[in-house]
Amino acid sequence: MIPNKYKISTFLFVVFLLINSFFLIKVALFEFDDDIIESDYTSYNENNKLGATDSTINKNYFLKNVGTKNPLGLINTVSYVLGQKNVKDTYGVYKLIIDSIYAPKLLNFDSTLQFKPNRINELINQGDNFKYASTFFTKDSFYLKTIADMYFKNAARQLEYYQNKNAQLTRNFHYQYLRQRCLEASVLPNKRESSMDKFMNTLLEEDYFHLINTTWNKSSFILKCLIFSIIILSFIGLVSFIKFSGAYFKKNI
Amino acid sequence: MKSIIVSLFFLLSFNALSQNDSKNHYDQRLVKFDVKTVDNDQFGIIKLILTNQRVKVKYFASKDPSGKSVAERFSEWSFNKKLILVSSGTYYFYPNPNNKNKNTAKPVGVCIDNGNIINIQTDNKLDALAMVYSSGKIVVENLKNKSITVPNTNGSQITLNLSNPLDYSMFLKWAKDVSATIFQSHLFAFKGNLMVNQNANSFKDYRRFLASGINNSGEIVQYIINLPFNTTILQGSKYALDYLKVNENLKEISFLINLDTGAQNVLDVYHPKDGKTILNTNFMGKKEIKDAINLIVYYYQ
């Protein structure tokens, strides 16, 4: 027959173990989504290298014959257009093309679509494509780099948007991969941090003053009571465990 | 004989003046300290007079391309500098969620460090675009205004619409050309108007602000306002604005921006006479310089 005081001690010890193993169970049950991103680096069509020959920069004509993924075609188009004009305003021609063709396509995105890593990956690929071209064509480097940045920024903005909608995306492999690629291009998607993220950051940074101050200020009355109860229960459980094991060893040794 | 005596007098006076200047860490007339009490809480104010360009600003936005941390860069740079104060700058985040090493942390929003591009993506929630020139001047623009004016290398002014991709690239190129340091932060007041929404975050924490304005003598004055007690953004901003309007009676309040007091709550203020750190809670942070991800430094030159 186990004495009552040991029954209480055992119960409190079990409570202590349950509370402390909660986080371990949560971590153990966490599922990672590690599917592979398809490699679909699409280069521009070789036949379109010559670019558009329309000096009025007809949007439909440009999109049909050059497309937005064709740096060489763009350079040739600008050269052709400049050749038709008396005043060689390179900036003006590029501004016209960027504002009328690239900006409507790249300054926004369809937020009604689901998170599709391949779609964002393709944007980053095109960013790299234009960035690479900017190192070759030094005369047009500034404009090509601008378009590259537009691709990267669109990708980063999409990552921001989807992560903002679903904070769990932070732990998704696709998201992490795309984010890293944006980071390499010096375009960092701004990340919304959940309260738990901030709590963990502060804990890992061992900034205990800030941790206690913010936790106390941010938590509601109920949460304060809950934290207090957990601390008390853990403490009692630990004391009971020490008492119980002490008594057990005393009895058996 | 008379001219020799006059010359000698001038020489001696100059010598005495220069001795006095070298004896002091920095010119006390250009840096003032104040403490204000509100609702039984005290906060510290450091007033910096920038008119004759002896008081300068330097910002360390991120580690350098060779990987040297902000604290190391600051330590090397400050070796022979007459420091006035050092404070943590803007917010930061960890780009890799699995790596919480402070060396990997990056500043939030657009960031250019001494002409080196760290991040070109602007954060829509942060309206203050702070530009620190290599000459030691800091200017803040409101990003909601879209267009900003920056001085060109040839002295002319260029107006850029930052929502236009080509203008934005031009802005990045300008920052590179003039070795500017750019960062983003929360804008709490601009041109005398409080910019904090009445429904703003009600979370209470320690607060620190950087404010700038023009006094009645036409001098440019900047303030570091340190609130070492828990208060909301709205209440803290009101305390700061009230101080600038009522106590300082500024002719114009140019801006009031936030400085991070979270996990990098760094503030070291140096004594004008001996250059030692002032040990007063109103002029102190909770963390050491080595814990900072970015730093704003005011120094005397």
Q: What is the DSSP string of B186-227?
A: -EEEETTEE---TTS----EEEEEEEEEE-TTS-EEEEEEEE
Collapsing DSSP to helix, strand or coil, A245 comes out as helix
Given an 8 Å threshold on Cβ–Cβ distance, is B205 in contact with A213?
Answer: yes
Q: Which of A201, A211, A219 to mutate to test the interface with B (most CBs of B within 10 A)?
A: A201
pLDDT at A8 over 90: no
Identity of the residue in A102, A170, A186 whose CB atom sits nearest the CB atom of B97: A170
pLDDT digits (tens, 9 = 90+) for A98-147: 998 999 999 988 888 999 999 999 999 999 999 999 999 999 999 999 99
Q: State how far residue A214 is from chain B, nearest Cα, in angstroms.
A: 7
User: What whole-number distance in Å separates Cα of residue B115 and Cα of residue B153?
Assistant: 14
Closest Cα in chain A to B205: A214
Given an 8 Å threshold on Cβ–Cβ distance, is B204 in contact with A189?
Answer: no
Nearest by Cα to B66 from B31, B120, B121, B116: B116
ipTM for the complex shown: 0.82
Chain B touched by A179 (CB under 8 Å): yes
Digit-by-digit pLDDT tens for chain B (301 residues) are 555 555 545 444 444 444 444 557 888 889 999 999 998 899 999 999 998 889 999 999 988 888 889 999 999 999 889 999 999 999 988 887 777 777 888 889 999 999 999 999 999 889 999 999 988 899 999 999 878 888 877 778 889 999 999 999 999 999 999 899 999 999 999 999 999 988 777 888 899 999 999 999 999 999 999 999 999 999 999 999 999 999 999 999 999 999 999 878 999 999 998 889 999 999 999 889 998 899 999 999 8
What b/e sequence results for A104-140 when a residue is b if at least 16 CB atoms lie within 10 Å of its CB, and e otherwise?
A: eebeebeeeeebebeebbbbbbbbbbbbebbeeeeeb
Nearest by Cα to A188 from A196, A178, A197: A178
- CA angle, corner B87, sides to B275 and B231, nearest 5? 125
Q: State how far residue B183 is from chain A, nearest Cα, in angstroms.
A: 14
Given an 8 Å threshold on Cβ–Cβ distance, is B121 in contact with A188?
Answer: yes
Q: State how far residue A117 is from chain B, nearest Cα, in angstroms.
A: 17
Cα torsion A199, A205, A209, A215 to 10°: value is 0
Chain B touched by A30 (CB under 8 Å): no
Residues of B in contact with A169 (CB under 8 A): none
List Cβ neighbours of B296 (8 Å cut-off, separation of 6 or more).
Answer: B57, B58, B59, B86, B87, B88, B89, B210, B259
Q: How confident is the model at residue A56 (pLDDT cuts 50, 70, 90)?
A: low
Residue with tokens 């500043």: B107
Residues of B in contact with A183 (CB under 8 A): 95
Q: State how far residue B192 is from chain A, nearest Cα, in angstroms.
A: 29
Query: Taking a C-beta distance cutoff of 8 angstroms, is the pair A122, A40 a contact?
Result: yes
Closest Cα in chain A to B168: A146
Query: Taking a C-beta distance cutoff of 8 angstroms, is the pair B292, B88 a contact?
Result: yes
Residue B63: HSE in the Cβ half-sphere, 13 Å Cα cutoff: 13
Q: Delimit the domains of chain A by residue range.
A: 4-30+197-252, 46-189
Q: How confident is the model at residue A40 (pLDDT cuts 50, 70, 90)?
A: very low
Chain A touched by B203 (CB under 8 Å): yes
Identity of the residue in A98, A186, A209 whose CB atom sits nearest the CB atom of B166: A98
Helix (H) or strand (E) holding B82: strand B82-88
Which carries the bigger pLDDT value, residue A34 or residue B99?
B99
pTM for the whole structure:
0.80
Average pLDDT over residues A207-223: 77
pLDDT at A47 over 60: no
Chain A touched by B14 (CB under 8 Å): no
Given an 8 Å threshold on Cβ–Cβ distance, is B263 in contact with A157?
Answer: no
pLDDT digits (tens, 9 = 90+) for A147-206: 999 999 999 999 999 988 888 888 889 999 999 999 999 998 877 666 677 777 777 777
Q: What is the model's pLDDT at position A230?
A: 85
Nearest by Cα to A97 from B120, B172, B169, B165: B165
Chain A touched by B54 (CB under 8 Å): no
**Kind of pairing, strands B205-214 and B252-259?**
antiparallel
User: What whole-number distance in Å separates Cα of residue A235 and Cα of residue A223?
Assistant: 18
Amino acid letter, B213: G
Q: Which of B62, B93, B121, B233 to mutate to test the interface with A (most CBs of A within 10 A)?
A: B121
Work out how many CB contacts closer than 8 A connect A with B: 89
